[in-house]
């Protein structure tokens, strides 16, 4: 498999304390109370609205290194543009035309896969750090958590160019972990409606209203560069609004799973990242 891609300037080796602001976010502190206080804060925010933001989690120098690598490697990014419904399921012509499962939204973005991220990138060092995995596990109150084993989709960088967007949708996974690297000039806002559905009730009426443009209950979460975000997207409909201006919106997506050795299907890998030999 080809791995040529994002390489950090001058091949610098990054220590974790150079990547993460451990003074502000003491997730590796030998003092258990300091780390536990942060975990409890994240749990409280997740309980309240299914989302949590840690602004300034990644230090500015590390952010700029990852961003510079991504922008220098744009030619390697795989672009996808698709029309889909909020549930990522096939159309059901037996449902009414205005049913939420039949309404189409647009998504357009570019992706740089894990196989393109250089061995000395601060993003690679961060993702491979057990301390981050354990912190996320504790914040999400999971019995176990593993880094994704997919050679392309484990940790990736997403670029939303002018006109790019991510249409309203629900995630198939329980949660998402993202790291903001650059905001767009305008647009590119992450919007969501917390827990608009649950495991027992789809609440199609409420979902349909959002898809039709209703703004009641819609929240925004737009951290500055360096913000780590945890988001429970299975029951909270969400989107990235259309990007305006020439500066792309750039963020990293860090994938985890409850079970070890989780990988994308070949179909999904080809769809989101292109065919990788």
Q: Rounded to an integer, what distance in angstroms lies between the CA atom of residue 214 and that of residue 225?
A: 29
Task: Kindly state the average pLDDT of the residues 265-277.
Answer: 75
The CATH number given to 16-273 is: 2.60.120.620
pLDDT band at 273 (very low <50, low <70, confident <90, very high): confident
Torsion angle defined by CA atoms of residues 115, 118, 124 and 125, in that order, rounded to the nearest 10 degrees: 150
Mean pLDDT of 121-136: 97
> Nearest CA to 77 among 127, 113, 114?
113
pLDDT classification of 129: cutoffs 50, 70, 90: very high
pLDDT at 275: 67
Asked if pLDDT for residue 7 goes beyond 70, the answer is no
Q: Tell me: the pLDDT tens digits for 162-190?
A: 999 999 999 988 999 999 999 999 999 99
277 pLDDT more than 70:
no
Beta bridge partners of 156: 253
Q: Are strands 228-231 and 51-54 parallel, antiparallel or unpaired?
A: antiparallel
**What is the reported pLDDT for 9?**
54
Query: pLDDT tens digit string along 8-66?
Result: 555 789 999 999 999 999 998 878 788 899 999 999 999 999 999 999 999 999 999 99
Tokens 């990522």 label which residue? 88
């Amino acid at each position: 498999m080809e791995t040529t891609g994002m390489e950090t300037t001058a091949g610098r080796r990054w220590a974790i304390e150079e990547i993460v602001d451990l003074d502000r976010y003491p997730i590796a502190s030998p003092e258990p109370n300091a780390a536990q206080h942060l975990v409890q804060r994240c749990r409280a925010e997740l309980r309240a609205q299914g989302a949590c933001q840690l602004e300034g989690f990644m230090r500015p120098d590390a952010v700029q290194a990852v961003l510079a690598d991504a922008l220098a490697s744009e030619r390697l990014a795989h672009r996808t543009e698709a029309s889909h419904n909020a549930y990522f399921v096939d159309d059901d012509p037996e449902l009414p035309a205005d049913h939420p499962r039949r309404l189409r939204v647009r998504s357009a973005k570019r992706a740089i896969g894990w196989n393109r991220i250089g061995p000395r990138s601060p993003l690679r060092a961060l993702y491979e750090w057990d301390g981050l995995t354990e912190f996320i596990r504790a914040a999400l109150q999971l019995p176990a958590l593993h880094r994704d084993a997919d050679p392309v989709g484990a940790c990736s960088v997403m670029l939303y160019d002018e006109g790019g967007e991510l249409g309203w949708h629900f995630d198939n996974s329980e949660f998402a972990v993202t790291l903001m690297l650059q905001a767009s000039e305008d647009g590119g806002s992450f919007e969501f409606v917390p827990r608009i559905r649950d495991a027992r009730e789809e609440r199609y009426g409420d979902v349909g209203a959002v898809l039709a443009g209703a703004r009641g209950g819609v929240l925004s979460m737009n951290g500055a560069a360096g913000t780590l975000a945890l988001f429970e997207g299975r029951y909270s409909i969400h989107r990235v609004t259309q990007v305006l201006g020439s500066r792309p919106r750039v963020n990293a997506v860090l994938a985890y799973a409850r079970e070890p050795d989780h990988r994308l299907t070949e179909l999904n890998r080809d769809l989101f990242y292109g065919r990788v030999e």
